[in-house]
Amino acid sequence: MSKIQAASALPLEPAEAPRRRRFSYRIEIDPSGTRNPWWITPLSILLALVLCGIFIAANGMNPMTVYAKMIKGAFGSSFGITETLVKAIPLLLCGIGVAIAYRISVWNIGAEGQFLVGAVAATAVTIWFPALPIYGTIPLMVVFAIAAGGIWGLLTAIPRTYFQVNELVTSLMLNYVAILLLDYFVFGPWKDPKGFNFPGTPMFNDAQTLPALGDTRLHFGLVFAIVAVVLYGLLVKYTKWGYELRLIGANPEAAKNAGIPIKRHILLVMLISGGLAGLAGMAEVSGVSHRLMYGISPGYGYTAIIVAWLAKLNPIGLVVSAVLFGGLIVGGYSVQTIGLPSSISNMIQGAILFFLIAGGMFGKFRLRRNA
Amino acid sequence: MHAIEMRRIVKQFGDVVANDHVDFTAGAGEIHALLGENGAGKSTMMCMLSGVYRPTSGEILLRGEQVRIRSPKDAAKLGVGMVYQNFRLVATLTAAENIVLGERSSFWRGPNWMKNKQREIKGLAEKFGLAFPVDRPIWQLSVGEQQRVEIVKTLYRGAQFIILDEPTSVLTPGEADQLFETLRTMRAEGKTVIVTTHKLKEVMAVADRISVMRKGKMIHTIDKKDTNERELARLMVGKEVVAQRDLPARTPGRTLLEVNRLEVAAEHGRKALDGLSLSIRAGEIVGIAGVAGNGQKELAEVLTGLIPWRRGQIEFDGKPLRNASVRGAIEAGISHVPENRMKSGLAGSLGLVDNLLFKSYRSADRARLGFLRIGRNKAWGQRLVEEFDVRTPGIDTPVQQLSGGNQQKLLFAREIHHDPKLMVAVHPTQGLDVGATEGVHRLLAKLRAEDKSVLLISEDLDEVMQLSDRILVIFGGRIVAELGRGEADREIIGMYMAGLHGAEEEAI
């Protein structure tokens, strides 16, 4: 960046009195947004539901009925709840991944791609080492998936660190590379010869499958997610490393003055961020689909961005919002039976993010009564 | 009738009153200096004239007519142009493009449009003695040239009232003289020129009338011919300028820092430091005086490990200092009070404890096995906050909610706590009120009494003169003079700062 003083916007008015005296209110700006009230988040969700309700009503349905059906579908039965949790696993893992990057203002929107290469790498283990026992296969799949996701993350982090390439662009673009990479394998060399031309690998054997929890579709990936979120919570709050991230996130210039190597941290954080998304990809192929196939992710990596944002990067918040959005996906499926497309859940997701960001912006303003 | 009249202007920012019933007038064909210390409210007044702020109450009259200035655009229409301290230029556009930016013209400008504009701008610039290359992008121009672009921008837009906010703070003395010539030309054209400044010499050199502000209030308006620097200084600070601080005499100890022919690169192949040598002994305060941009910033950054040096040696406490290692500097015992505390010294959104931990979180006292000792650190932070009398609603309050003085106390608490041998303090009292400034000075004196050294880099010559055992004058990236305590004389220092005593007299 050039060091000379470039044009900057005029300073914003910190306090402004209205000209007309009869209004005894004034608007204050709090640019730091430190006092953003808690109710912005629930309000955003509510407004998103109202907005989507209008579209549902325009489709000739009663929004309340639809929402009730979605909630019932996602949380109303033990099947619904386990399905919701199954969806929450990749959302939580990817959500932690992007959250850790967002902590130091590295805008990784490439969790989708990191997820997919993780899935591909885990599958590679099953193709290359088909006869390993479960105690060999599963750990090896985990290692491969984390490494692949991490490398995918580094592909974004290295240009960002050394050449000031905007990570938003590279991480997004790499998602498409990852999708095509996956397509190449499932349409090409790894296609199941007995699969009637279905774009997918052969089914995994028992040694390559994450054990189910009890008699449900819920799998061992849940343990990964819980361990990851606990570690994340401990790391960011209680460790030196978490402190360094906090400092870089709050003021990189000051972090430099404290002797913190920012570049190294960006690389490490993106390695972890990508690694977690890669692990999610492994859990998905090994725990849910039991094969690598075309279209394996319904956009978990993108939804994870909203999960992290809604949670404000807080570990408990991440769990809550991952489950919420898992429920939203499952709820979306359940309204298909009454003739609405399941993409209704995508619409709600988008609307929530929209209102959250808008709320964060308007949250900087305060309406004050004049003394 | 006055060209500009501002009546009973009040401006409040939250609970802070920046301007308290200020009256101000300036005539046509007049250079009017608005004099006051940093934070006296000069810039705020002028920003209301140029539409950046709106007054909380009060009236503004231009040529005798009451006006409402709601935006810089309004101001421009009324003929008010302001040259801000931080320029508002687009770095990648040429000077001419910056000047015509926002101008209404037909959609199709034709091939010669810009050529003609460039010629027009060049003519206008030359008329006022403001030379700069019109067709070069801004980022290639020097700071002085950029300022000229800003001035021509206001003239091009037909400004009759031209405000310059601290215009000489970025200029060399020669450039400043040139600027004054330009201002006189403007005066001859019948324009009203207002210059805000805190430099008495400039005021006496260029102004016709002088208004002095102090703490948001208008103190006095006076013709230049009826006053002198001494009186202005008294009006500005409210009392006679304080002489040297009474520091107990003491013999400095061993040599602590030895900098030998240091060379640091700047942009465009220039040298920011050009063979700079200096030494500091234990228990002395060494002040660096100089016009901004002569290498002070780089000197501070190289000593604190933020930037590398190319040639030369730095020896600290008998050992060579690691090149470009902040941790190396911290561990060697060099602490740093950076130029802009909120930009690089503190993390505004974090609480007090996190801000205190900056330099010590790696130590065994603050963290064990990679985990911070949270409870212990909180108690430790609380003790430091009390010891340094930081006024805060709570230990977890984001530090951006503290006042400037309390932020600086917090920063000093952190920097002093880790027991430095040398403190590099850059503009340590910038933006602080009198009481907080006094507190900072006391802390620096206390360090000296504890046999620690301070390298005080400040644009405030008074501050340097008050506190320093020795004053080194920096010019063009090297030390050009050394003056002992007592022999310091404003005039002599000023000459060296302006580079008037040639390099052949290089001291040390």
d(CA A233, CA B79) in angstroms, rounded, equals 58
Q: In chain A, pLDDT over 70 holds for what percent of residues?
A: 89
pLDDT at A308 over 80: yes
| Token pair for A108 | 């990784």
Q: How confident is the model at residue A4 (pLDDT cuts 50, 70, 90)?
A: very low
Q: Cβ A11–B330 below 8 Å, yes or no?
A: no
Q: How many other CB atoms are found less than 10 A from the CB of residue A248?
A: 25
Same fold yes or no, B4-237 and B240-333+421-508: yes
CATH architecture for the domain at B4-237: 3-Layer(aba) Sandwich (3.40)
Instruction: State the pairing for strand pair A25-29/A365-369.
Output: antiparallel
DSSP-derived 3-state class of residue B227 = coil
List helix spans (H) across B333-487: 352-356, 374-387, 404-417, 434-449, 461-467
Q: Which residue has the tokens 């319904």?
A: A298
B4 CA to chain A: closest CA distance, Å?
A: 22
Task: Report residue B462 as tokens.
Answer: 């008074």
Residue A27 lies in a domain: no
Q: If we measure between CA atoms, which residue out of A166, A171, A167, A119 comes closest to residue A146?
A: A119
Mutation for testing the B interface, residue in A1, A10, A264 having most B CBs under 10 Å: A10
- Model confidence over B282-297: pLDDT tens digits? 999 999 988 767 888 8
Residue B196 β-bridge partners: B34, B165
The whole-number pLDDT of residue A20 equals 46
CB atoms within 10 A of CB A253: 16
Structure tokens at B52: 């950046």
In a mutational test of the B interface, the residue from A20, A34, A236, A257 whose CB has the highest number of chain B CBs within 10 Å is A257
Q: Which domain holds residue A107?
A: 90-221+243-313
Using alpha carbons, list the distances in angstroms from residue A166 to A156, A161, A163, B195: 9, 9, 9, 42
Amino acid identity of residue B375, one-letter, is G
Given A7, A15, A238, which is nearest B372 (Cβ)?
A238
Compute the mean pLDDT over every residue in chain B, rounded to the nearest whole number.
Answer: 86
Q: Is residue A45 part of a domain?
A: no
**Is A41 a member of any domain?**
no
Q: Name every chain A residue with its beta carbon within 8 A of the beta carbon of B325.
A: 259
**Strand runs labelled E in B224-297:** 255-265, 271-281, 285-289
- The SS3 assignment for B194 reads strand
**pLDDT grade, residue A12 (50/70/90)?**
very low
End-to-end CA gap in chain A: 45
Structural domains in chain A (count): 1
Facing A2 at nearest CB: one of B91, B146, B306: B91
A-B Cβ pairs (cutoff 8 Å, strict) = 115
Distance from CA of B338 to the nearest CA of A (A): 9
DSSP structure string for A172-188: HHHHHHHHHHHHHHHHT
Identify whether the C-beta of residue B83 lies closer than 8 Å to the C-beta of residue B150.
Answer: yes
In a domain, A25, yes or no: no
- Model confidence at A371: pLDDT above 60: no
* Assigned domain for A122 exists: yes
- So where are chain B's domains? 4-237, 240-333+421-508, 348-419
Residue B313 DSSP label: E
B381: nearest Cα among B416, B350, B357, B405: B357
Specify the amino acid at residue B493. I
Distance separating alpha carbons of residues A236 and B281, to the nearest angstrom: 42
In a domain, A206, yes or no: yes
The Cα angle at residue A223 between residues A221 and A224, in degrees rounded to 5: 65
Compute the distance between CA of residue B42 and CA of residue B499 in angstroms, rounded to an integer.
29
CATH of region B240-333+421-508:
3.40.50.300
Taking CA–CA distances from B70, the nearest residue in chain A reads A19
pLDDT at A3: 37
- Test A251 with B12 for CB contact under 8 angstroms: no
- Edge-first strand listing for the sheet containing B422-426: B334-337, B422-426, B453-457, B285-289, B470-475, B478-484
Residue A352 included in any domain: no
Residue A55 domain flag: no
pLDDT per residue of chain B (508 residues) written in tens, 0 to 9: 789 999 999 998 776 788 999 999 999 999 999 987 666 788 889 999 999 899 999 999 999 999 999 988 889 999 999 998 888 899 899 999 999 887 777 778 778 888 888 999 999 999 988 888 888 899 888 888 899 999 999 999 989 999 998 888 777 767 888 899 999 999 999 999 999 887 777 888 899 999 998 878 898 899 999 988 777 777 776 654 445 566 777 777 889 999 999 999 876 567 889 999 999 999 999 999 887 678 888 999 999 999 999 999 999 999 999 998 999 999 999 999 998 888 899 998 899 999 999 988 988 889 888 899 999 999 999 999 999 989 888 899 899 888 888 999 999 999 999 889 999 999 898 777 777 888 899 999 999 999 999 999 987 777 888 889 999 999 889 999 998 877 777 667 767 776 665 434 444 3
The C-alpha torsion from A166 through A168 and A169 to A175, rounded to 10°, is: 140
CA distance B211 to B216: 12
Tens digit of each residue's pLDDT (9 = 90 or more) over B222-254: 999 998 877 777 777 665 444 556 677 777 788
What number is the average pLDDT over the span A278-306? 94
When pLDDT is cut at 50, 70 and 90, the band that residue A34 belongs to is low
pLDDT beyond 70 at A171: yes
Query: A15 to chain B: which residues are within 8 Å by CB?
Result: 12-14
The torsion of the CA quartet A307, A310, A314, A317, rounded to 10 degrees, works out to -80
Q: State the DSSP H helix or E strand holding residue B218, giving kind and residue range, or none if neither.
A: strand B217-223
Nearest to B345 among A13, A242, A257 (CB): A257
The model carries a pTM of 0.76
The secondary structure element, H or E, covering residue B62 is strand B57-62
A247/B344 Cβ within 8 A: no
Distance between CA atoms of residues B83 and B184, nearest Å = 16
| Residue of chain A nearest B48, judged by CA positions | A13
Q: How confident is the model at residue A7 (pLDDT cuts 50, 70, 90)?
A: very low
In degrees to the nearest 10, what's the CA dihedral of A18, A21, A25, A28? Answer: 30
